[in-house]
Structure 1
Amino acid sequence: MPRVNVLVRALDGRTRCVECDLDDRDRSRDLARVVDALRARDAALVPYGARVAFSRSARARGDATVRASDDLIAHVTCGLLGGKGGFGTQLRASARRGTQTTNFDACRDLSGRRLRAVNGEKKIAAWEAEKAERDAEAKAEKYLKSQAGGSGAARLRELEEKEREAYHAESAKVSESVNDAVASGFKNAAAIEAAKRKKAKKGKAVVGNDDESESESDEDFDDSALLFPAAKKARVVPAAPAPALALANEPEASTSQSPTSAPTMAPPVMEQKEEGPLDLTRFDSAEALEAVGLERLKAELTAQKLKCGGTLRERAARLFLLRDNTRDEIDKKHWAK
């Protein structure tokens, strides 16, 4: 059995020198026997599925025999999954080569007919085949619409009957209440009329002139006042006159008052001369200054170049600030613009 030295470059990248004993019974496949011998010597050196490539000198001789003097160099490799790469380039190229249109109706088939005619015939045949199904669907839809229409009309009639009954019941209640109200009004009017007549008969024995007044009041009596009493008129209270006007009209009011009426007290009003300026030192407070009146306060505020608006109390308080201060010493918010 011949022995051969083989330099094996394994998968880990290391090169080893391995002695192999070849079986000389089969000399037709010496390189295959070397691989079997290497795998028998060390299974991890040449795993199953790996490929073994020998040097060119071993293949260049032409025969399959292996001699002991041969220098064999074996490279152990394994197959990898995947291609050679460039897949993205191939995709882009195929996209550039893609079709630019989807309309092939003008093309012809193998028999020479236009594709638009062939496709049209196919569509017509399919439409004719679905005709029975379309007719059945149309009948079903028509039946469902008829059923829905009948039930809807019946439901509307039922609602109309209910509304009519409710209307009649409400009308009967309203008419009954109106009749009761009218009857009650006439009854109350008759009672009031009897009471007034009874009172008139009693009054005739005391005062003779009461008969005429009672007859006039009976004629003026209106039955509608019992059923629809008029609303009470709001009492209008006249506003109190200004102090100056009250002072001027005091003699006339005293002469026109009856002896039985109680005398009314007018509020005290300070008499000031309209020609000269108002002397503020004579007033102790802003409340006392209110007796001057709105118009006199407005005139004084205007003369002092202060704001003259507001109520009587506001004007008096604004003018009273000048009693102990000058215009420049008070707040500028009181100045007139």
Structure 2
Amino acid sequence: MTAARGFPAFGPQRAGARFATSWWGRAWVKAMEDTSLDQVLLRRGRAYAKSGQLGPITVSPGRIAAVAENDYDTVVRVEQLTDAAWERFLDQVAAKARHIAALLDRDMPHDLVEAAQDAAVPLLPAVGDLEPHCSCPDWGHPCEHAAALCYQASWLLDADPFVLLLMRGRGQNELIEALQQRDIPEAQPAGVPVAEAFALGTPPLPGPPPYDVAFTPPALEPGPGGDSGIDVAALSVLAASAASRARELLLSGRLPRHTEYQDRVRLAAEHGLGLGLDAAVQAWRYGGADGLDVLETPWTPPRQDLARARARLEAGWEGGAPPPVESWRNRWTLGRLQLRYGRDGRWYPFTERDGGWWPAGPPERDPSAAVHERWQPDR
């Protein structure tokens, strides 16, 4: 039988601490949040998870458990995989050596989860797959204690995806032992007899390798005639930019179309040129062409996008209701912080500086995440 694993209690966390930085950890949190019908309880659960009041966590096949304040027993049940499902999962893991290496390196490859899904093996929970239970008098589904347990579990999943596999029924040692016992495909004979090799004749040479566009061109110098009227420094920047764009085209097969102004900003951002475009350069470094557009062009987003964003901001705010929001088109102002909604569906943070708004960091899908790192109440 698979042994349970115990984890020490998490201490108090800072208010802006985030849950689930890995993609599989975020999928776990999403399954719990999508099941909940009470955003207030979720907000309280997030605050409780960071308070340090939840006890040590025990993970065992089919469940995670902890003791909350007042000795409330809190459990979240997860459906275990059948033996047949485990066999199909092990087939997918053993099919590629890098899957085993990734798991041992505490990573959960996307293609492994997708291959398991195709084999009818649901590794990640979906809506309704998590069953919370708590001995507290709250009838929430989940209550704040069970929600806090799920949020803290996302930290465990970030650090070790084998925690998820243990919840599904099998621990790390059991899985590795099962993989070692599986049949290994017979190796192909190495090489061919000499006579057969000579009989094949001379094969055609391979084509030339692709030009290494990452190569740094040599430094440009004025010709022997002295000053030729060419700005060598500017020409060097343009040559490096052309090489970078060629590499982008080679790797992706396409190049984004930029206006002349956008290219000026891009060059300044990539090569540290002082062209009097400080705010634009900072916007480009955080979000590329989308970041520049958010800096300079207000627009009116669909109402449903803003309604969803406002609900996420309220649900993700720690310690009570968020401050009043002054909204205008795609711009939300919260005191000395402003969020701008981009056409790419992300929220860009800005802070007040010299009487204007200055790009303050990379964009976030969740507006509450963009706020937490930078929020300072007016004094």
TM, length-normalised to structure 1: 0.17
Higher helix share: 1
Higher strand share: 2
The one of the two structures with greater contact order (alpha-carbon pairs below 8 A, sep at least 6) is 2
